């Protein structure tokens, strides 16, 4: 059991890394696109499912004979973890897999994989389904949120793999919608939501300095963790830190600093008060945060980002299928929202190998800029107020009630928020 838990911990860390790498490449793309602009680049509003990115690699890498570096923790262990998740579903997250091979494919490993997918309760076929059948699968597994795969299926497709990840939850109590005030100037909204309680406050990162953290829990073993850092910290560094915090929180670890260790005063996007609040004779800590609501709906060409897909699909799998079947493509469509009542996040990932023209090149590895922050000397505070007044990261992750649940602490969706909407 300990070995299995260790494997799932490795997988959770790999998912957090995928989320950070994706947003790092997005930041690089923004910088390239704005190279001639006078103003600094704005990192794009984006949300992806790292679980949805990782699952096709975990499914295919072992059968493809991919090298250990192409998927974490290793092709064999990744496959074991993926199938364990399919056989032990999470109450608030739905993971679905589809795999199809053309009838001409007789590779023993790949044909055997079809049977394994069926045994796990998922869809597999020796023969490429019609576009209508694939659309029907996508519609069913995303509860109607998406009605087609995020890429067109070629007539001469040799392999088509699809992964759907859908998660949703409601807060225990609706969040308060309140006047945005000066916060609205940064987001062009009139109202934001107020969150608070014991899961709101500040954390300390040795590289990034103070981080504002707000956790909104759902009753189905899911939570949304919103993390904001100093404005100059890169999107990839913040999303990486958010992934680490989500892992620790999902494992039951305390991630917030006690108010008494925080420096009193106004620090821009966060403030610490030294006036205690009492309910009778008991001191209360009513930390709170003002957070904009947001919506993300995007489709991504995953091959542009690399993320292991070139190693598994282009190098390993297409070579196994033959040189005439060397065109590879992969995409993910993602829809996420966060508001007063809860959140919902759906992602549909698809990969294809065919004889048609694919996307020929991936970007180099992303830059991960880290900005150090020095901490003021703590003098002891009682009340923390956070204002999410500049872009921030959100991680939707699992925190199952059962300590040994294999889904515990897995980041499902990662969002970089640069646009807001009315709650």
pTM of the shown model? 0.89
pLDDT given for residue 25 in this prediction: 84
What is the Cα–Cα distance from 286 to 196, expressed in whole angstroms?
7
Burial class of residue 279 (count of CB atoms within 10 Å of its CB; 0-12, 13-18, 19+): exposed
CATH 2.30.39 residue ranges for the chain = 170-293+379-417
pLDDT at residue 404 greater than cutoff 50: yes
Summarize pLDDT for 89-132 with one digit per residue, the tens: 998 999 999 999 999 888 899 999 999 999 999 999 999 999 99
Average pLDDT for the chain? 86
Residues of the chain with pLDDT > 90, as a percent, come to: 59
User: Residue 75 is encoded by which pair of tokens?
Assistant: 């092709």
Architecture (CATH level 2) of domain 2-168+297-354: 2-Layer Sandwich (3.30)
pLDDT given for residue 403 in this prediction: 55
Distances 213 to 151, 249, 278, 415 between C-alpha atoms, Å: 36, 11, 24, 15
pLDDT given for residue 371 in this prediction: 35
For residues 83-107, b (16+ Cβ closer than 10 Å) or e, as one string? bbbbeeebebbbbbbbbbbbeebeb
Architecture (CATH level 2) of domain 170-293+379-417: Roll (2.30)
Q: Which H or E element spans position 168?
A: strand 159-170
pLDDT given for residue 331 in this prediction: 96
pLDDT given for residue 372 in this prediction: 36
pLDDT given for residue 219 in this prediction: 87
User: Residue 418 is encoded by which pair of tokens?
Assistant: 């640069």
What is the Cα–Cα distance from 420 to 96, expressed in whole angstroms?
30
What is the Cα–Cα distance from 81 to 397, expressed in whole angstroms?
17
How many CB atoms neighbour CB 241 within 10 A? Answer: 24
What is the Cα–Cα distance from 60 to 333, expressed in whole angstroms?
20
CATH 3.30.497.10 residue ranges for the chain = 2-168+297-354
């Amino acid at each position: 059991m300990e070995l299995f838990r260790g494997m799932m911990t490795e997988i959770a860390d790999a998912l957090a890394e995928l989320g950070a790498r994706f947003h790092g490449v997005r930041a690089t793309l923004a910088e390239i696109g704005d190279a001639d602009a006078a103003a600094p680049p704005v990192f794009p509003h984006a949300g992806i499912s790292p679980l949805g990115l990782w699952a096709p690699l975990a499914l295919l890498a072992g059968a493809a004979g991919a090298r250990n570096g192409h998927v974490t923790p290793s092709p064999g262990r990744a496959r074991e973890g993926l199938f364990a998740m399919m056989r032990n579903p999470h109450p608030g997250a739905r993971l679905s897999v589809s795999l199809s091979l053309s009838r001409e494919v007789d590779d023993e490993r790949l044909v055997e994989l079809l049977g394994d997918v069926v045994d796990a309760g998922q869809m597999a076929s020796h023969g490429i389904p019609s576009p209508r059948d694939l659309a029907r699968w996508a519609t069913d597994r995303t509860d109607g949120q998406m009605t087609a795969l995020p890429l067109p299926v070629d007539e001469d497709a040799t392999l088509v793999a699809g992964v759907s990840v859908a998660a949703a939850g409601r807060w225990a109590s609706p969040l308060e919608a309140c006047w945005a005030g000066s916060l609205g100037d940064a987001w062009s909204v009139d109202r934001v939501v107020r969150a608070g309680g014991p899961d709101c406050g500040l954390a300390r990162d040795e590289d990034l300095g103070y981080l504002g953290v707000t956790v909104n829990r759902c009753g189905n073993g899911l939570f949304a963790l919103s993390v904001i850092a100093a404005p100059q910290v890169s999107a990839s560094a913040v999303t990486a830190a958010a992934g680490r915090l989500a892992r620790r929180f999902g494992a039951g670890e305390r991630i917030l600093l006690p108010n008494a260790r925080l420096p009193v005063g106004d620090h821009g996007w966060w403030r610490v008060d030294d006036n205690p609040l009492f309910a009778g004779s008991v001191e209360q800590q009513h930390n709170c945060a003002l957070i904009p609501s947001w919506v993300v709906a995007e489709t991504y060409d995953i091959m542009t980002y690399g993320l292991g897909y070139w190693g598994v699909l282009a190098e390993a799998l297409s070579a196994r299928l033959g040189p005439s079947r060397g065109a590879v493509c992969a995409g993910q469509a993602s829809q996420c929202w966060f508001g007063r009542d809860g959140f919902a996040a759906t992602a549909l990932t698809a990969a294809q190998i065919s004889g048609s023209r694919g996307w020929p090149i991936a970007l180099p590895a992303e830059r991960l800029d880290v900005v150090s922050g020095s901490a003021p000397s703590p003098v002891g505070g009682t009340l923390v107020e956070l204002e999410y007044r500049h872009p921030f990261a959100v991680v939707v992750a699992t925190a199952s009630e059962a300590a040994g649940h294999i889904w515990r602490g897995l980041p499902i969706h990662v969002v970089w928020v640069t646009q807001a909407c009315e709650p």
